[in-house]
Amino acid sequence: MGSSWLRRPLEKTRFYDVWRRFVLTGETEGVPPHIRSSWERCKRMGLDPERPPAPKRLEGRLLEALLREKGPIIDMVESRCAEIERWLMNLPFALVLLDGEGCVLSISGEKEMLSYLKDAGIEIGTSSREEIIGTAAPSLTVKEKRFAMVNGEEHYLRPFHWATCVSFPLFDSERNLIAVLDVTTLREYGHALTGIIPLLVGLVQSCQFELLLKGEREGGQEPSYGSFFRHEVAMPAGSPKISHDNCAFSHIVGRSKIILDLIEKAKAAAPTGSTILIEGETGTGKEMFARAIHLESPYRNGPFIAVNCAAIPKDLVESELFGYERGAFTGALREGQKGKFELAEGGTLFLDEIQAMDPTTQQKVLRAVENREIFRIGGKRPLSLNVRLIAASCSDLEKEVREGRFLPSLFYRLNVVRLLIPPLRERREDIPSLIEVFVDEMRKRFNPRLKGITAEALRILIAYSWPGNVRELKNCIEAASVFCEGSYITVRDLPERIRSSVRKEERTFETAIKEIFEESLRRHRTAREAASSLGIPLSTFYRRLKRLGISPPSRDSHL
């Protein structure tokens, strides 16, 4: 058996010491209750926490019979695989489907992840029961018939400390556990996986609904749709809550690794007083970051003055920023006027859309930043400054410099600490958390009946590209809340432009997947080789060909 998990360096977290104490002494202090009970069972069973599992594997006719019996469930889950893969496109992941006894029925995902699982003994036909793999999400779901999430060193067996996994149960109409869906990723992506849980909840509930309807029809009952179509998308009990402590950054919503890393960087820069440059597309939340930095800085007791440079007429920019003395120009106020730099004294000046500033004003801002002083228009003496400067741009300022539209020396003065806020389409896992916040806001403002959003509506919002980023998402939820007639936002409440855009994108994605499968058939001699090149089992390969409308070759025949 391989050992790629040993070749992958792992930084030990604080919970590693908790795990180690339990392994050596049985001490359970600091162990969550649902993990503690599983660890104690593993210890009683004599599982070696340092060794990878060695499960027996069903072979030949026994495995074929099991896969044939579970074929409808496998098909039902795999028919939704493309949707799951879109949600997880920025994560290393593996999807594992097990039967109610813990036997693995199908595995798909990235090759690196499949390699890690194979080295740990997880393959089609092997068992993932607790007595085999120890504490893990799928083994807990099989054992306790509930949602489970296990992160890093919460796994009893050290060979799984690289992983974070979540598992969901599927029941028949008699409440018998018939399948478990597991999603596994690298533990450093655990925050991102947590953010996707609401999407997976919706998908699992869709599968559950289909199974229950099937059971009711087979039992001669009339299918009951009412309680399934509208349900709140919520984090299952037991899933972790993410916070940024009790600080100004707690208002920034996000679970993705990229946004959490950005928050940590901003928190580190806030108390230094250094000049900060924030870049990001329109609507990504640049001013929200600037305000949080101000509130966590030594300038917190001073004012926060925000200026949109693109909104000030060119001939008024200098007077707005630097102020003017009495009689400085025709139409000036008799007593003169303070500029934004002066108004921000002792606090923070936020220059938004700084790329729109004309070259002359750029030169004056440069002198203000370098000398920490300004001259009012018509003034004869310098005014010293004690101001923290944060600049923001919706375009790449470095590119603006290369193309001659922005002063290089000012760019280098501003570019002390650089924060790049990613567009929403690059952190789709944050969308459910943002929607939860916006729905709560709309409920308080004008729709007290509003409780949440349906799974299908959420799926569409996840798939949309959001050119207007977080601001556009908030406006969308506000509009949907206005038109929502019930307690949950449905697909028909969403703007038509978003619905039609997603339909077009999904057709394009499905076409791309079809082309990949057709190309694999052209490049390889047998269906088995084509399936192997895509990293999926042959049975899965045939099912997907059928779903994509591609005529399948006979099994193992030459292509």
What is the model's pLDDT at position 6? 43
176 pLDDT band (50/70/90 cuts)?
Answer: confident
What is the model's pLDDT at position 352? 94
CA atoms within 13 A on the CB side of 330: 0
What is the model's pLDDT at position 505? 62
What is the model's pLDDT at position 129? 93
389 pLDDT band (50/70/90 cuts)?
Answer: very high
Please, are residues 249 and 272 in contact by the beta-carbon 8 Å criterion? no
d(CA 370, CA 364): 10
Cα 421-422-425 angle, rounded to 5 deg: 150
Q: Is the pLDDT of residue 137 over 70?
A: yes
245 pLDDT band (50/70/90 cuts)?
Answer: very low
What is the model's pLDDT at position 396? 92
DSSP states of 375-437 = --BT-SS-EE---EEEEEESS-HHHHHHTTSS-HHHHHHHTTEEEEPPPGGG-GGGHHHHHHH
Highest mean pLDDT among 350-354, 380-384, 524-528: 350-354
More confident call, 334 vs 314:
314
* pLDDT tens-place string over residues 197-217: 766 776 777 677 667 666 545
Least confident piece of the model among 20-24, 79-83, 129-133, 341-345 = 79-83
State both tokens at 494. Answer: 């969403």
CA atoms within 13 A on the CB side of 255: 25
Residues 455-484, mean pLDDT to the nearest whole number: 89
φ, ψ at 377 (rounded to 5°): -65, 125
Residues 70-96, mean pLDDT to the nearest whole number: 77
Q: Is the pLDDT of residue 246 over 50?
A: no
What is the model's pLDDT at position 375? 87
State both tokens at 325. Answer: 């003395």
Which residue type does 26 have?
Answer: G
Q: Which residues contact 187 (CB under 8 A, 6 or more apart)?
A: 151, 152, 161, 162, 163, 164
For 4-229, which CATH class?
alpha beta
d(CA 98, CA 145): 13
* pLDDT tens-place string over residues 529-557: 888 777 677 777 887 788 778 887 765 55
Q: Is the pLDDT of residue 59 over 90?
A: no
Least confident piece of the model among 183-192, 405-414, 540-549 = 540-549
Strand, coil or helix: what is 95?
strand
Distance of CA 196 to the CA centre of its chain: 6
How high is the mean pLDDT of the chain? Answer: 82
Please, are residues 166 and 200 in contact by the beta-carbon 8 Å criterion? yes
Q: Is the pLDDT of residue 2 over 70?
A: no
CA atoms within 13 A on the CB side of 456: 12
Residues 134-159, mean pLDDT to the nearest whole number: 92
Closest CA to 463 of 93, 87, 203: 87
Strand, coil or helix: what is 170?
strand
What is the model's pLDDT at position 306? 93
Percent of the chain with pLDDT over 90: 35
Residues 222-238, mean pLDDT to the nearest whole number: 36
State both tokens at 443. Answer: 């409920």
Strand, coil or helix: what is 277?
strand
Q: Is the pLDDT of residue 424 over 50?
A: yes
Q: Is the pLDDT of residue 48 over 80?
A: yes
What is the model's pLDDT at position 218? 57
Highest mean pLDDT among 119-133, 187-201, 492-506, 517-531: 119-133
Residues 481-488, mean pLDDT to the nearest whole number: 88
d(CA 77, CA 73): 6
Q: Which residues contact 133 (CB under 8 A, 6 or more apart)?
A: 53, 55, 120, 121, 122, 127, 139, 157, 160
Please, are residues 172 and 160 in contact by the beta-carbon 8 Å criterion? no
- What's domain 427-494's architecture? Orthogonal Bundle (1.10)
State both tokens at 335. Answer: 């007593």
Using the structure block, give the residue that is written with the tokens 């089609």.
Answer: 124
Q: Which residues contact 46 (CB under 8 A, 6 or more apart)?
A: none
508 pLDDT band (50/70/90 cuts)?
Answer: low
Which DSSP letter does residue 219 get? T
d(CA 389, CA 156): 50
State both tokens at 145. Answer: 């018939």
Using the structure block, give the residue that is written with the tokens 């052209």.
Answer: 522
Strand, coil or helix: what is 538?
helix
Q: Is the pLDDT of residue 244 over 50?
A: no
Total number of residues shown for the chain = 559
Please, are residues 164 and 151 in contact by the beta-carbon 8 Å criterion? yes
Q: Is the pLDDT of residue 9 over 60?
A: no
Q: Is the pLDDT of residue 316 over 90?
A: no
Least confident piece of the model among 5-9, 277-281, 338-342, 415-419 = 5-9
State both tokens at 547. Answer: 């779903």
Strand, coil or helix: what is 304?
strand
Beta bridge partners of residue 99, listed in sequence order: 179
d(CA 411, CA 396): 11
Q: Is the pLDDT of residue 58 over 90?
A: no
State both tokens at 530. Answer: 């084509």
CATH superfamily of 257-424: P-loop containing nucleotide triphosphate hydrolases (3.40.50.300)
Buried b (16+ CB within 10 A) or exposed e, 336-346: bbebbbbebbe
11 pLDDT band (50/70/90 cuts)?
Answer: low
Least confident piece of the model among 78-87, 256-265, 364-373 = 78-87
What is the model's pLDDT at position 236? 39
3-state helix, strand, coil in the chain (%, to 5): 50, 15, 35
Q: Is the pLDDT of residue 425 over 70?
A: yes
d(CA 523, CA 264): 47
Please, are residues 257 and 188 in contact by the beta-carbon 8 Å criterion? yes
Closest CA to 377 of 327, 415, 335: 327
Every domain of the chain and the residues it spans = 4-229, 257-424, 427-494, 501-548
State both tokens at 52. Answer: 């990878």
Q: Is the pLDDT of residue 391 over 70?
A: yes
State both tokens at 373. Answer: 């002083």
What is the model's pLDDT at position 506? 58
Least confident piece of the model among 60-64, 434-438, 461-465, 540-544 = 540-544
Least confident piece of the model among 117-121, 138-142, 243-247, 337-341 = 243-247
Residues 29-40, mean pLDDT to the nearest whole number: 90
Buried b (16+ CB within 10 A) or exposed e, 103-113: bbbbbbbbeeb
Least confident piece of the model among 88-102, 317-331, 501-515 = 501-515
Q: Is the pLDDT of residue 150 over 80?
A: yes
Strand, coil or helix: what is 351?
strand
d(CA 306, CA 297): 16
Q: Is the pLDDT of residue 234 over 60?
A: no
Residues 185-195, mean pLDDT to the nearest whole number: 80
Q: In CATH terms, are 257-424 and 427-494 the same topology?
A: no
